[in-house]
Copies of this chain bind each other. A is one copy, B any other.
Amino acid sequence: VRRGPPKPTPPLPEIRRYYHAALEFADLAQRVVRAGLARGLTRRRKPDLSLVTNVDLTVERALRRAIASRFPNHGIAGEEFPPSHPGAPWQWIIDPIDGTLGLSHGLPLYGTILGLWFHGQALVGVIDHPELGTRYSAARGLGAFRNGIRFRLKDVPRGGLADEIVSAADRTRFRQCGKAGAFDLLLRRHRQVRGYYDCIAHSWAAEGSIGAVVDFGVRLWDIAATQVLVEEAGGSYLLASQRGQGSEGVYGIIAGKPRTVRWLRRLFRV
C-alpha cells in the first residue's frame, strides 16, 4: 500500500512460481490448523484485548519457517510476530487465522490469509477456509480460482442493487475511521446488509456471492489477499482509507462487483 512511481511487474512465469509456492504454504497451514484443532484450542488475550489461540501461533510459526527456508531474502509480516526483512521488495503478508473469535466459538467461517506483495503491490493472494473446504486463490495476470477452478464474478444487472448483499460489521471500527455516519446510512438505505465479517466476507465478495464487502479499521494481513483476488475475478477494489504505512497501517476497503462498489463509494464519500 506504499505509493510512488510504478514498479516493474515480474514476468508471468516468475509469478506462477510464487503462486504455486503460496498454494503449498496454504496446504501446510491447513494441515497445521487441522492438527491444532484435533489437539484442542487454548485461548488467551493479546495486549490489544483481541483473542489469540495456540492454533494462530502454531500456524504462523510454521508458515514463517517454510517461507524463510524457501525464500530467505523475502520479508514476512504476520499478525502474531514482528516482521522480518521489513525493507525487502518481496513481502509475504500472513494472517494465520482470520476469524479467531469465531473459530474459538466453533464457527466454520475462519480462514488463513496469505499474500505476496512486491514493492507494495499484491501479486499473489490466497484465502483458505479449512472447515468450509473452500480455497480462493489468485495471481496477477493468471486469474482467480475457487478450489482450483477459475471463476469470474458477474457484475450486478442494471437496477439490481437492491438484491445485492453487502457485508459490513462492527460499527466501532467504522467509527474509528470516521465512517460511523456512512455505516448508519448504509443500514438505513439498504435492506441486504449482513455482517459476515472477517475473511469469509472478502472471499464471498471476490466470487460475487455477495455484492461487496466494506471493511474499515483493518490491518494489512486482513486485506493481504483481497485486492488481487477481487481484481483477478473481474471485480473492483478500492482502498478507501489509510492511516499509517505497511504492517503498521490501519486500512479501509470496499471490494466486490463494480456496480456495487461504485454505489458504496458514493455512499461512503471516498
Contacts and interface: CB of A to CB of B under 8 A. Distances in A.
18 contacts: A101-B192, A102-B165, A105-B210, A106-B208, A107-B165, A107-B204, A132-B132, A169-B194, A170-B191, A170-B192, A171-B187, A171-B188, A184-B184, A193-B195, A194-B195, A194-B197, A195-B196, A196-B196
Contact of A169 (B102, B172, B193, B207): B193
Nearest 8 pairs of A and B residues by beta carbon: A195-B195, A106-B209, A194-B195, A171-B187, A105-B209, A107-B209, A172-B191, A194-B197
A192 B169 CA distance: 8
A170 to B, nearest CB: 6
Interface in A205-251: 207-210
A184 B51 CA distance: 25
Contact of A163 (B51, B163, B187): B51
Interface string A162-184: 01010101111000000000001
A108 interface: yes
Given A105-B208, A170-B191, 14 more contacts: A101-B165, A101-B192, A102-B209, A105-B165, A107-B204, A107-B209, A167-B195, A169-B194, A170-B192, A170-B193, A171-B187, A171-B193, A194-B196, A195-B196
Nearest to A187: B171
A208 B194 CA distance: 20
A171 B187 CA distance: 6
B106 A207 contact: yes
Interface in A21-73: 51
A157 B139 CA distance: 44
Chain A: interface residue count, which band?
20 to 34
Contacts of A204: 107
A195 B169 contact: yes
- Of the candidates A105, A188, A210, the one having the most CB atoms from chain B within 10 angstroms of its own CB is A105
A83 B188 CA distance: 34
A195 B170 CA distance: 10
A255 to B, nearest CB: 16
Contacts of A193: 169-171, 195
Contacts of A187: 171
A188 B163 CA distance: 26
A145 B204 CA distance: 29
A187 B184 CA distance: 10
A169 B170 CA distance: 12
